[in-house]
Amino acid sequence: MQTLNLTAVVRNDFGKAAAKAVRRQGLVPCSLCGNGETVSFSVDVKAVKPLIYTPNSYIVEIDFDGKVEKAVMREVQFHPVREEILHIDFYRIVDGKPVAIAIPVRLTGNAEGVKIGGKLALSARKLTVSGMLDKLPDEIVVDVTPLGVGKTIFVGDLEFDGLKFLTPATTAVCAVRVTRASRGAEAAGR
């Protein structure tokens, strides 16, 4: 799994006024939770943009004056009008415990249903999984080659070593939809 490094400044002031003062300095207020401890800090807004404006998932190494903590991003709050980042929540990674993280899905292969005119639709761009840090992949690769017209691949159909899917098993990952062209090809084949 890819790693992103952030330099943090610990915050001791809390509340709305303190958060606004931090944002005026070009920083984003953040919190790191987990393992029975919460740390409030701020990071440069430019440093977190590669973490937020990407489809990829990252393990974040947060540097607190030489002490490095590993974490995953849990939630980002945006201003409703200006699209400005208001707050970021991180969750601490503890050695020896599984990590829950949303990982992007990538489809490979040429679906059989697409060859006869169906349309491939990706329903879930990211799936939430749990696993040990060294077993987490950068992306979940799904082979769609055997997928026919009107068929769907669900989360319950996927199996990866060392990963447990937290997304419900009944969630559709991708499907080949019926189109006029595929109906015509099916009628001509009869």
* Full strand arrangement of the beta sheet holding 67-78: 3-7, 59-64, 67-78, 85-92, 27-33, 39-44, 9-10
The confidence score (pLDDT) of residue 171 equals 93
* Cα gap 190→18, rounded to integer Å: 71
Residue 189 has pLDDT above 80, yes or no: no
What distance in Å separates the CA atoms of residue 111 and residue 169, rounded to the nearest whole number? Answer: 22
Summarize pLDDT for 19-40 with one digit per residue, the tens. 888 888 888 888 888 888 888 8
Q: Give the DSSP H or E segment for 45.
A: helix 45-52
Residue 19's SS3 state is helix
- Over residues 123-137, the pLDDT tens digits come to 989 999 998 888 888
Domains of the chain and CATH, by start:
3-94 (2.40.240.10), 100-189 (2.170.120.20)
- CB-count burial class (<10 Å; 0-12, 13-18, 19+) for 79: exposed
Strand bridging mode 39-44 / 9-10: antiparallel
Residue type, 33: C
- Decide: 138 and 160 in contact? Cβ < 8 Å: no
Q: Which candidate, 125, 188, 186, 127, places its Cα nearest to that of 159?
A: 127
Looking at residue 170, its pLDDT comes to 93
Residue 184 has pLDDT above 70, yes or no: no
Q: What is the mean pLDDT of residues 41-50?
A: 86
Enter the pTM of the model.
0.77
